[in-house]
Structure 1
Amino acid sequence: MPMALLATTPPCPCPCDIVASSRGCFLRAPRSTALPRGAMAAASAAGCSVPPSLLVFSGGTAFNGVVEDLKKVTTRVAHVLPVSDDGGSTAEIVRVLGGPAVGDIRSRCLRFEARVVPDCRRRTHFVGWCLTAIQGNNTCFLVYFHNEILRRSAEMFCFTNGSIGNFFFAGARIFFQSLDAAIFLFSRVSQIPAESFVLPVISTNDRLTLGCELWDGTIIRGQNEISHPSNGRKEVVNKDCNSCSALPSRIKRVFYMSSEGSNLLHEVFPEANRTVLEQLSKVDCIVYAMGSLFTSVCPSLVLRGIGETIASRSIPKVLLLNGSHDRETTGLSASGFVTAITDSLNRTYGDPDKSLKNLPKDYVNALLVPKGGQIPLDVENFAAQGIFHVVTVDSIRDPKLHCTGKSSSQLSFS
């Protein structure tokens, strides 16, 4: 469908003049983009004295580049992240110590640091900060983490390529028996704005494993195995759809698994973090960020209470469409992304007693689409889904992101 067909669509109701990159593409929304109705428009009419409040569903990598520029527009942002990652040093921590994955949380918290410094200096600052400043009651959480490793002498822990930040968060979580407390500690010491939040979508001390069911009935266990299986190799993650074998069939749904579940799939139904539900009930805009659709975004959407709350809100609900496919979305059109989000929030293919019947427009009412992106734009299906706010935005390649193989994304605000 030619891009020109989108020129007559109504303006996107997103509250910000936004520039995004999806999987290495920058997206720029036109400066003429209209503000949404309600609280956001009222704030604008009053001279923008109240910045917009956003809740963003994302993973730990794809939206990280957005955070610095987002702070130029508003610091009233709740970042909701899954805790089911099982790759990198996170996998080693979970294997030996159990508990939720902390890697995505750590990655986003570091982006929130009050002082803007280059990544290499940021890492140096963080290491020193852990060893000298975080010693409440003479307790260093890195030392505590190491002691916990030594207590499990039967398990040989591999420190190769380990993240100091992950070690700190794991130690603080175990010490306080709360990931939320570990995040709060980091937030206060790092002077993260009080109105900014990094929220695990599930508040738990248990290990959570992500599973997926394919349309051919295949069940895959583990986030890494779904998105970028390494076949046991320890190497740089590459989520590009050409870097690993294709899935035998498209993904039907994602769900949470346990080794102790009572059904054949060992499926479990954890509760959503109450703070996430509270934020959803009062923010001005909801954003589904670019990134790995089924392993970064959908794990936060399938939880009970998330779909109910989003559907009840009459606010902008914006999908930042990816600029290219990965292993999870090969062959999917733009409306297919909307369908996947809708099915996840409705829990369509799970327990029928826990499912909803809401329409796509109840969950997504605006799209930002990168010009020249690889995702087919089936505009006629947008109308059938009740979505009429589609903004095509200029895009450029960011070789710095592509060379890492991490499918990173970035937003800028002007």
Structure 2
Amino acid sequence: MTRIRVEREMDLPSGLRVLRALSAPHHGPRILFFSGGSALNAISRNLKRYTFNSAHLITPFDSGGSSQILRQSFDMPAIGDLRSRLMALADETVLGQPDIYKLFAHRLPRDAPQRELAAEVRAMTEGKHPLVKAISQPMRKLIQAFLQDFAEQAPADFDYRNASIGNLIIVGGYLGHDRALEPVMFLMSKMVDVRGTVRSVVDANLQLGVELDDGTPVIGQRLITGKEVAPLKQRITRAFLSDGRAEIAPDAISLPKRNRKMISQADVICYSPGSLYSSVVATLLPAGVGRSVAAQPVPKLYLPSLGHDPEALGHDLSDQVAALLAPLRADAGQDVPAHRLISHVLCDSSRKAAECRAVTERHGIPCVTLPLADASGEKYDPGKVSEVLVSLD
């Protein structure tokens, strides 16, 4: 089984790995995350101090907030979580980068008249808006071109309220590159000098679905998270992908070759904190994920969320691990040992010992507890988590 060295058994080589990463992040470890949402952003922002080689496979199935408007208007995958992770990993110290960062992070007001909001976007497209004028050429011209592609295909009644300008730029690039995410993600990464690699786990316009205890299907991420609508009142028993109307076959959507290669090159694999099903399990559903993970002999950690997760109703820690193992084994094979898919569960010291023992007894996976929470106890301390991740062996 893959070994792991963390703080409780920290030795000199582990400490040296942290110092080496801080001094030479260009050569830092290749830590791959399956994630979505914003739960990992603070850790990602800190991790770029240690490595420029982290890789992030993000779910494109979000259907809430402004992502829902973009998906309905342009029949495309969700890109909000992709933009958010790009911003978390962007190098904000390079000359000119803060200006691009400000533009990508800018949101239009929620309560302004549509006419005014459309006019603001038009000013950006024409290069007259202060946020765009502040960006030097040739980057400004490229951004204007993407916004022009967006403007030309936006519905006349497009709702600009609370729209992220970064999202609109990515949508324009997507539309201008034959509706492919990979080219525009590459360009966006270069624009803001991303210290890592951010990709959609698949480039497909699909919805996330779950099945409840009584067999009822619920399709659409926004109906699952308990954030925009009332939380589910029954336990989730499994997740699946859908075309928006019905479940699609598990092997109908495959992990792209470029993403399989990224997994094969990882030094560490991490199932991230975040909403259990919509942020983490969702990234494990495409065909090929389980096989790619099982083939890689590296540490594979589950870092469960702190605090309350509406999606984990009725799930103790061992149930959460089972929820991750289910899609991985469905792809890799039911006889694949659990430790080849998740080598360790890494928890904050506040986790009850009985929960940790249950994980090992049920799945045969070691559960390691460390003081990883911040002062609030509800979120992870980014520095502590980053140092553990770069210390793994």
- For Structure 1 versus Structure 2, the TM-score category normalised by the shorter chain is 0.7 to 0.9
Matched, 1:109 2:86: yes
Who is 1:277 aligned against? 260
2:149 maps to 1:144:
yes
Match for residue 365 of structure 2 among 362, 387, 393: 387
Partner of 2:236: 251
Q: In the TM superposition, what are the counterparts of 1:225-304 in structure 2 within 5 Å?
A: 225-228=223-226, 230-231=228-229, 244-245=230-231, 247-259=232-244, 265=247, 269-304=252-287
Cα deviation, residue 139, structure 1: 5.1
> 1:139-179: CA deviations, max 9, x gaps?
52122212211xx33xx221111111111111111111221
Query: How many Å separate the matches in 1 of 2:208 and 2:353?
Result: 25
Distance in 1 (alpha carbons) for counterparts of 2:278 and 2:77: 15
| Paired AA for residue 13 in structure 1 | I
| Distance in structure 2 (CA, Å) of the matches to 1:357 and 1:282 | 24
Higher mean C-alpha deviation, range 108-117 or range 131-140: 131-140
Q: Deviations over 1:185-238 (max 9, x none)?
A: 111122224xx210100024xx2111111121010010010112534xxxxxxx
Q: Which residue pairs with 1:214 in the alignment? A: 212
2:53: which partner in 1? 76
Q: Check 1:295–1:289 CA distance in 2 against 1; reply closer, same or farther (3 A cut).
A: same
Q: Aligned AA for 1:145?
A: F
2:185: which partner in 1?
A: 183
Give the residue type in structure 1 aligned to 2:4: P
1:140 alignment partner, SS class: helix
How far apart in 1 are the matches of 2:133 and 2:9?
Answer: 42
Name the CA distance, whole Å, in 2 between partners of 1:137 and 1:378. 51
Question: What's 1:200 paired with?
Answer: 200
Separation (CA, whole Å) in 1 of partners of 2:41 and 2:358: 32
In structure 2, which of residues 337, 344, 356 is the aligned counterpart of residue 359 of structure 1? 337
1:91 to 64, 68, 75: 68
Instruction: Name the CA shift for 1:363/1:34 in 2 (closer, same or farther; >3 Å).
Output: farther
TM-score of the superposition, structure 1-length normalised?
Answer: 0.74
- 1:387 deviates by 1.4
- Which residue of structure 1 lines up, in the alignment, with residue 300 of structure 2? 317
Q: Distance in 2 between matches of 1:34 and 1:386?
A: 29
Partner of residue 31 from structure 2, selected from 50, 54, 57? 54
Say if 1:30 and 1:129 are closer, same or farther in 2 by CA, change over 3 A: farther
8 Å contact kept, 2:372–2:381: no
Aligned-partner SS, 1:328: helix
Partners of 2:13 and 2:310 lie apart in 1 by 35
* Cα distance, 1:383–1:52 mapped onto 2, change above 3 Å: farther
Q: Hey, which bits of structure 1, 4+ residues long, moved more than 6 A?
A: 33-36
Structure 1 contact 324–375 (Cα < 8 Å) conserved: no
Q: Which has the higher helix share?
A: 2
- State the identity %: 25
Match of 1:234 in 2: none
Contact 2:372/2:380 (8 A) holds in 1: no
Task: Show CA shifts across 1:36-60 (max 9, x none).
Answer: 9xxx99x99xx99953211111113
Tell me if structure 1 keeps the 8 A contact 2:348–2:371: yes
Q: Give, in whole Å, the separation in 1 of the partners of 2:30 and 2:301.
A: 13
Contact 1:202 1:271 in 2 (8 A): yes
- When residues 49 and 230 of structure 1 are mapped into structure 2, their CA distance, relative to the original with a 3 A threshold, is closer
Counterpart code for 1:184: F
Q: Which residue of 2 aligns with 1:22?
A: none
User: Structure 2: how far apart are the matches of 1:285 and 1:158?
Assistant: 41
- Structure 2 Cα separation of the partners of residues 249 and 216 of structure 1: 8
The answer on whether the counterparts of 2:25 and 2:49 sit within 8 Å (CA) in structure 1 is: no
1:302/1:138 CA distance change after superposition, 3 Å: closer
Superposed, 1:160-179 pairs within 5 Å as: 160-177=161-178, 178-179=180-181
Return the alpha-carbon distance in structure 1 between the equivalents of residues 273 and 151 of structure 2.
35
Number of residue pairs aligned between Structure 1 and Structure 2: 349
Gaps spanning 5+ residues in structure 2: where? 107-130, 388-393
CA 1:192–1:378: 2 relative to 1, 3 Å: closer
Q: Distance in 1 between matches of 2:140 and 2:234?
A: 50
| TM-score between both structures, scaled by the size of structure 2 | 0.78
1:254-274 CA distances to partner (integer Å, 9 max, x unpaired)? Answer: 1111157xxx64557312122
Does the Cα contact within 8 Å between 1:62 and 1:290 map onto a contact in 2?
Answer: yes
Q: CA deviation at 1:278?
A: 0.4
- What's the C-alpha RMSD, in Å, of the aligned pairs? 3.5
TM-superposed CA distance for 1:182, in Å, is: 0.9
